[in-house]
Structures are given as structure tokens and as C-alpha cells.
Structure 1
């Protein structure tokens, strides 16, 4: 079992909040992690999860998948209006958090290998697949490839 010791981004691996990504800010009296859907300064609502249900290792593909899942939930809500406002706000907070993390990883990877002579990879994609394409590009750049992704 991974011991979560540093505050910051967390992926919830199991339980009722499985798949959600948030910011670990504190631990309650029972030892449960308090996870906000974005950095705590922006949010008042949070989830409580056990240490064993969370990990600080968040693969780039998980970020892209979570963004897609959130967009799907928000789209369904717009057409069916089935989500309470509080849940919709939490999803929007989480969407911004995940998008910011994915963008930061992408930019870091682009800069890291910008000046190196590496094997070049071109990623062609539809605008619908941009988040997933960025995830692939980020992982390839972290692996040492020079990647061209037309945003």
C-alpha cells in the first residue's frame, strides 16, 4: 500500500469516488484523506477516502480519460438536467484541475526535449481527440522522442 505523504494531486482508485482526480489537502481524525476536486482555495466541498483508495501516481492517459468522462457527464447533465448543482460545480472544478495538470505536463515535456536531436514523431488527430493526443505526446516526449502535435 502506497503511503500518501505529500499534499497535491491524487487519483482515487477504488470506492464510491473511483476514477476522480483531486487535490489532497489534509487528513481527518480517522486517518481518511480529504480530497478537493481542485486546489482547496477554489473549493468548499471535498471527498473523504481511505489511504488505500488513493495514489499520487496519475498517468497522463488517466488525465485525458477523466477529462473525457467529465465532459460526458456534463453534456448529459445539460441535456437531461439530472445532476444537483453542487455535483455539477464539483465536476467543473475537477475538469479545470485535470486540464491544467495535463497542459502543464504537455508544456513541460515539450520544453524538456525541444532542443535535443531525438527520433521525431508526428501525431495527427481530430480536434475531438486533442486531450488524448496531448497525453500520448506528453508520454512520448517524457520517453525521449521529439514530438510534433498540431494544436
Structure 2
């Protein structure tokens, strides 16, 4: 994704905001967007080289958390309902992420091979997030009274 495209994609902008919000030293402020997003972009070959044994790296868990925080914010913006992510990951690298709005589970995503979490490109990452966002917004629209509870 080009620098212009990353600054115009609302999901990517949100993800960058969440990532940079954790930068206590200010080092990421001047870093180009592509460099900040680089840990999310892995080729299929790079993912295959990552072993699936042992606990997932805490940095990967953090990246997954920021990814779903940005998705939750997009759903919140589009639906008008507060959305909270809940992540439960087993030490072997699988688990579940749910996004709740009120008493409603707006998104229920199962994660596998978390050790290899990443996308071929920023466009692919944004497209996948877009599908999850659309699912969450549609679920809230279908059950607005539960989302408001």
C-alpha cells in the first residue's frame, strides 16, 4: 500500500493510531506508516518459516490486540454503539476474539496459528478487517436493542 493509500484508508489510520498510542518514547511518530505496519506484513514464505510450537511471542499478541482494537473502533464509529474486544488465546497459539456491543456478541472470530499472524499486504489486511467490520455492523443493526443493553 502506498503512503497516500495508507493515510486515506480509515482502518489503517485507526490501526496506526492505536500502535502509535503505545509509543512512550516518540520514536514511532516520525517513522513512515509502512515501517510501523511492517510487522503485520509477512509473505507466505515468511509465515511458513515461523515455528508453531511454544508460546506465541508477546509482540504478536500485542499486534493482534491492536488489530482488533482498530476493528472495534470502526464498528463503533459506524454503528454508534460502544464495542469492546475480548481476546482469549491458548498458549499453543489458538483461541478466540469476540467483539461485544452491550450484551451482543457482534463478532466471534476463531484464531489459529497465531504464531504466524500476518497478511500478504496492507490492502489484504484492510480488506479482511473490512469484512469483519461489516459483519459487526450488520449484527448490531439486526439486534440494536441487545447492543444497547
TM-score above 0.5, yes or no: no
The structure whose RCO (Cα within 8 Å, separation 6+) is larger is 2
Larger Cα Rg: Structure 1 or Structure 2?
1
TM-score by length of structure 2 reads 0.30
